[in-house]
Chain A
């Protein structure tokens, strides 16, 4: 075990939850989010946020709605918490790379702007992306 009692503390999902709950703090509390997400015990969200437990996949739709984020993104993060088990592998094999609705739009933009040229990502383009999206 990497982190005693907190095996999922270093995962993208745990980091994302911490940041998103903080962002929503002026609008709703963590308890409200947990109740909206359908957790029987509101404390379960705190446990997942702390990385003590992983997010069950069947909680993804409700939690995504409560957090106001894309369910696919949250699902991808929840999948990563499975750590390469057969469920994750099966989903990846069947669906390939999972993308959010917004990412679909960006992919279409890349295809349109490049004339479907499948452009490689140059160092210059990578720097420009950081400038556009890195706030």
Chain B
């Protein structure tokens, strides 16, 4: 049995990425010039608008 610390970061490779998710990630990397943008409140709010306009 493997014991994990409770505050470990959930890495998506524990839940394999789908092909679509890989495309999303790659697009974010390209658009941000590999700056690895942090999910600030402002960015997350803008990002959510993408999904609202999809519906």
Contact = CB atoms under 8 A, between A and B. Distances in A.
A97 B22 contact: yes
B32 interface: yes
Nearest to A19: B33
Is the interface on chain B under 10, 10 to 19, 20 to 34, or 35 or more residues?
A: 20 to 34
Nearest to A132: B46
**SS class, residues of chain B in contact with chain A:** helix
Contacts of B13: 95-99
Interface residues of A, number: 40
B27 A121 contact: yes
Decide if the interface of chain A is mainly helix, strand, loop or mixed: helix
A128 B51 CA distance: 10
Interface of B: 9-13, 16-18, 20-25, 27-28, 31-34, 36-39, 43-44, 46-51, 53-54
